[in-house]
Amino acid sequence: MMNKYTKQQIAFQKKYGDWAIVTGASEGVGREMALSLAERGLNVVLVARRVELLERLSETIKKEFNVQTMVISADLSEISALKSLVQSTSALNIGLLIANAGYGTSGPLINADLQTELNMLDVNCRALLVLSHHYGKRFSTQKKGGIVLMSSIMAFQGVPNMANYAATKAYVQTLAEGLHIELAPYGVDVHASAPGPINTGFSTRSNLKMGAAAHPKTIASDTLNALGKSTTVRPGFLAKLLEYSLKLLPRWGRVRVMQLVTKGMMSH
Ligand SMILES: NC(=O)c1ccc[n+]([C@@H]2O[C@H](COP(=O)([O-])OP(=O)(O)OC[C@H]3O[C@@H](n4cnc5c(N)ncnc54)[C@H](OP(=O)(O)O)[C@@H]3O)[C@@H](O)[C@H]2O)c1
């Protein structure tokens, strides 16, 4: 029987299979990551709070790609949920962690609800640290694997009106850069994906109006294609364009440009 996978897909399976965990798989980039991984022949653990969306995605994946799935309903801001995610996946041969779940808020920090900002810190940073620590250890023992940490173009300077969100992404970016070097000797690939605006549920939750925005499918495939090749990938055309246009500015200048950008996105 002919193998239905390409050479690249088989190499991907060998390096990052048999199972991948995708956090934030119910919508947006995470959903597209899960689909793209299933297409490459990996079984996928789908993690988010909205279990009905995960169940529907699981059915689609099993029907279209003939791989296995596991659905885990978890609020990643809770340590107990992280512990049970780790336990539920202990018997699976996990080779890839896509730490994608996250959200943003907008507006001046002093007007924000502090509990929401603390929760964002827990989802965007603490959960990602706990999972990177656990699966980083597992992957280094098995001498193969990959970790994708979802950063943002916001990670590279302060961002007025999204100050805490940008700070969480600076944490993610910095963590990825360090782990990239630490885990390389064990054959484990770590990279940060730093997209620009994407057309997802993110804008509703952060109450921002997106102008030009990339499709989450592009972000997922560019990110997965770059795994093992660089420390940071700027997926999609917009992220690259924004990188080049901001590159020559000093850091304080980038902060000012970001102030204008977020002001525009908040006026709706
Ligand atoms: N959209 C953009 O413009 C943009 C740009 C750069 C970077 N990013 C980053 O890309 C990642 C994906 O965002 P997206 O654009 O795909 O947004 P999205 O469509 O809103 O998806 C966010 C995902 O995160 C999950 N999530 C949120 N809070 C959670 C929690 N407490 N516990 C478990 N899961 C949780 C959501 O699932 P449930 O609600 O079902 O729990 C959802 O699946 C995020 O880290 C974001 O910061 C986005």
Ligand 1: distance of its center to the CA of 191 in Å?
18
The pLDDT of residue 26 is: 98
210 pLDDT band, cuts 50/70/90, is confident
4 pLDDT band, cuts 50/70/90, is confident
169 is catalytic: yes
Angle at which helix 51-65 crosses helix 28-39, to 10 degrees, equals 20
171 lines ligand 1 (CB under 6 A): no
CATH 3.30.2010.10 fits domain 7-266: no
152 lines ligand 1 (CB under 6 A): yes
Average the pLDDT over 153-160 and give the result.
97
**Ligand 1 atom closest to the CA of 26, numbered from 1:** 43
165 is catalytic: yes
**Ligand 1 atom closest to the CA of 169, numbered from 1:** 47
Contact 95, 17 (CB under 8 A): yes
The Cα 44–Cα 130 span in angstroms is 19
Locate the domains of the chain by residue range: 7-266
Choose between 209 and 190: higher pLDDT.
190
Contact 190, 229 (CB under 8 A): no
Q: Which of the residue ranges 90-94, 136-140, 203-207, 217-221 would you say has the lowest mean pLDDT?
A: 203-207
Compute the C-alpha angle 11/31/165, nearest 5°. Answer: 110
236 lines ligand 1 (CB under 6 A): no
pLDDT in tens, 64-123: 999 999 999 999 999 999 999 999 999 999 999 999 999 999 999 999 999 999 999 999
The catalytic position among 135, 169, 186, 229 is 169
Residue 164 has pLDDT above 70, yes or no: yes
Bridge-partner residues for 149, per DSSP? 99, 192
The pLDDT of residue 267 is: 77
